[in-house]
Amino acid sequence: MAAIVGTDFSASGDAPTRRSSPRGRGRYPGEPDLILVRALHLALLVLLALPLAACKKAEPVAAAKPAPSASARKAAAATPPKRERAEYSDMPAAGTQTYSMSTDKAIAAEAMRGGPRGEPRIFETPEELNELARGASPKYMNGQFRYYLANVVMMQPQGECKTPLLAVNLAVENLHGMPTVAIYGEFTFTQVVGGDGSSMTETVATPFHANILGPFSNKQGGLVYATAFLEQTDAARDPDRLAKIAAINPQRLKVWFKPETFFYADRTQYAQITGKAPAQRDVLTCGGQEGARSLIK
């Protein structure tokens, strides 16, 4: 029988005993220490995660929204979509907002302001009204005074005036405070045509010149009620023209006034053409008609 190399039989005849090896024993030398380190790392990570888990709050459960009613669905369908950049055009749903007043808005607000008793403002032309409403500064002549229409009436002869006269009664606001005796300029009368709310107007008769007779307030912002008697230049046609103006419904009447000359008590005047100069015309009462007298000469 051939010998089996590397085999050692015991005397009892049992199977040969194999020499143990590190792998045969199931563990490497020092592995228990590595397992302990890993366990400590895991425990440390668990301890660090506990505070984070405690800080995290549970998400609130969203309440179920009730189904919209039929009327609500119709209203939503009828509501137009919001315009782009709605933050400039839509009012916020709640709360209040404040806005700073810009210069152009302040001018526009002043242009629309009425007289001391709610009288409508008299402008030079519709173009001036539009410019001021857009915030443009008034021209120099219109920046000295503001005019507010009280009424337009036909005055019968009274006092020193011996003939019927068309009187324009108005409130005059002095914006600079300089004492002024009279304001000479041109009045134009228009009436609204069309239905209520119409912006269309037509001129009635022809423009008339007149002196608005002072004296006016010598305080800045002071108001005085004054009268202007229209001057007549055509004895044949002017009485009929003045009657047409007096017959306009006050609710449809619009009066425009273009100032041309300011007269002062020292017998000087100011006009855009001449500037400050000696008075070049007389200032007469009664529209220059019978019974008129001079205010500055």
Instruction: Give pLDDT, residue 201.
Output: 85
Instruction: Look at residue 36 and give its three-state secondary structure.
Output: helix
Q: Count Cα atoms within 13 angstroms, Cβ side, for 274.
A: 14
Instruction: Give pLDDT, residue 256.
Output: 94
State the amino acid at position 267 in one-letter form. Answer: R
In angstroms, the Cα distances linking 64 to 61, 67, 95 are 9, 9, 28
- Per the DSSP assignment, residues forming a β-bridge with 152 are 168
Instruction: Look at residue 108 and give its three-state secondary structure.
Output: helix
Instruction: Give pLDDT, residue 231.
Output: 95
- The per-residue pLDDT string of the chain (297 residues; one tens digit each, 9 = 90 and over) reads 444 444 444 444 444 444 544 444 444 555 566 677 777 777 777 777 666 655 555 556 656 667 777 777 766 665 655 544 433 333 344 444 444 556 667 666 766 678 888 899 998 888 887 777 776 666 667 778 999 999 999 999 988 999 999 999 999 999 888 889 999 999 999 999 887 777 788 999 999 999 999 889 999 889 999 999 999 999 899 999 999 999 999 999 999 999 999 999 899 999 988 889 999 988 999 999 998 998 876
Instruction: Give pLDDT, residue 208.
Output: 96
Residues ≥6 apart with Cβ < 8 Å to 285: 160, 161, 211, 213, 229, 291, 292, 293, 295
3-state percent breakdown (helix, strand, coil) of the chain, nearest 5: 25, 25, 50
- Do residues 166 and 154 make contact, with C-beta atoms less than 8 angstroms apart? yes
Instruction: Give pLDDT, residue 108.
Output: 66
Before 138, cis peptide (omega within 30)? Answer: no
State the amino acid at position 253 in one-letter form. Answer: L
